[in-house]
Amino acid sequence: MQTVSVVIPAYNPGPFLAEAVESAVSQVPAPLEVLVVDDGSTEPFAIPNHPLVRVVRQDNAGASAARNRGIREARGELIAFLDADDVWYPGKLAAQATLMRPGVGLCSCDFDVIEATGKRDGWGGHGGNYRQLLRGNSIHTSGAIARRSSLLEAGCFDESLTHSEEWGTWLEIARRSELEHAPGVFVGYRLHDRNASRDYLRMWRGAMNVLWQHRGADALPGIRRVGQIYGSQAFDAFRVTRSPSHLFWAFALWPDYVLRNVWRRVWRPR
């Protein structure tokens, strides 16, 4: 079995970090180490006292810089990423590590969504290959395990991006190596008010920056897919807030979706 380092970026992580760490150290077989990268937190937080856990501290520089610091500090052949508010389920590392044969640079898995009201189905499609991954990011960060050498060859995470930076990293790995996918739900993605993914406009801008860097390839399907993802999120925000700005962005990003919903709810004959 190849050695695995777990990298957890943490900036004011709140109450969920302990559960994330416990879910990592309890994997069978256990990882080589769990690196918690404190990205200049301004609030105190507790980390479980465990011999596998090592804390690395740095000035606040963002999640990409924290992950990159973890990659540089890691001693494992493979790097598994885990966000401080997510959780792994038993068997996650074992299922993925066995698929990391020579030539495979990255392996994904499926996840479900943990909300205050309970769990619901998530997603986590196989990236397939570079061209398929250009159509949209189907790899959740907490479900990704990558070869350390592949991450270094890809330039790690782009620290100039604050959103969708992981998609750019997966694409760079997919240029150079194969992708794999472990069937099964192995990650719990915790949804709450502090999730960066709730800021649909910044997520869309980050995704467009990634696609611009890959504009020489067939990125057009990705542009459409990104618009659909964040246009639907903008429309969901409009439903809750009735803010005209959310409706504007929903229409700008995915006009067909907005028109279908307006027709269904307002103009469709009864």
Q: What is the CATH classification number for the domain harbouring 166?
A: 3.90.550.10
**pLDDT category of residue 239 using cuts at 50, 70 and 90:** confident
User: CB 139: neighbour CB atoms within 10 A?
Assistant: 26
Residues 56 and 148 occupy one common structural domain: yes
Domain stop point among 178, 194, 210 = 194
Residue 134 inside a domain? The answer is: yes
- What's the pLDDT tens digit per position in 160-219? 888 888 999 999 999 999 999 999 999 999 886 554 546 888 888 888 888 888 887 677
Residues 187 and 259 occupy one common structural domain: no
Mean pLDDT for the chain? 88
Residue 13 inside a domain? The answer is: yes
Q: Nearest-CA neighbor of 111 among 70, 83, 69? A: 83
- What's the pLDDT tens digit per position in 64-121? 999 999 999 999 999 999 999 999 999 999 999 999 999 999 999 999 988 878 787 7
- Which range is least confidently modeled, 45-54, 71-80, 242-251? 242-251
Residues 184 and 226 occupy one common structural domain: no
Q: Are the C-beta atoms of residues 7 and 88 closer than 8 Å to each other?
A: no
Residues 27 and 97 occupy one common structural domain: yes
pTM for the structure as a whole = 0.86
Overall domain count for the chain: 2
- What's the pLDDT tens digit per position in 143-158? 999 999 999 999 999 9
Residues 22 and 142 occupy one common structural domain: yes
Residues 158 and 256 occupy one common structural domain: no
Residue 205 inside a domain? The answer is: no
**pLDDT category of residue 262 using cuts at 50, 70 and 90:** low
Q: Which domain holds residue 45?
A: 4-194
Domain stop point among 153, 179, 194 = 194
Residue 70 inside a domain? The answer is: yes
Residues 95 and 226 occupy one common structural domain: no
Residues above pLDDT 90, as percent of the chain: 55
SS (H, E, C) the chain: CCCEEEEEEECCCHHHHHHHHHHHHCCCCCCCEEEEEEECCCCCCCCCCCCCEEEEEECCCCHHHHHHHHHHHCCCCEEEECCCCCEECCCHHHHHHCCCCCCEEEEEEEEEEEECCEEEECCCCCCCCHHHHCCCCCCCHHHCEEEHHHHHHCCCCCCCCCCCHHHHHHHHHHHHCEEEEEEEEEEEEECCCCCHHHCHHHHHHHHHHHHHHCCCCCCHHHHHHHHHHHHHHHHHHHHHHCCHHHHHHHHHHCHHHHHHHHHHHHHCCC
Residues 110 and 227 occupy one common structural domain: no
Residues 139 and 254 occupy one common structural domain: no
Residue 210 inside a domain? The answer is: no
Q: Are the C-beta atoms of residues 13 and 40 closer than 8 Å to each other?
A: no
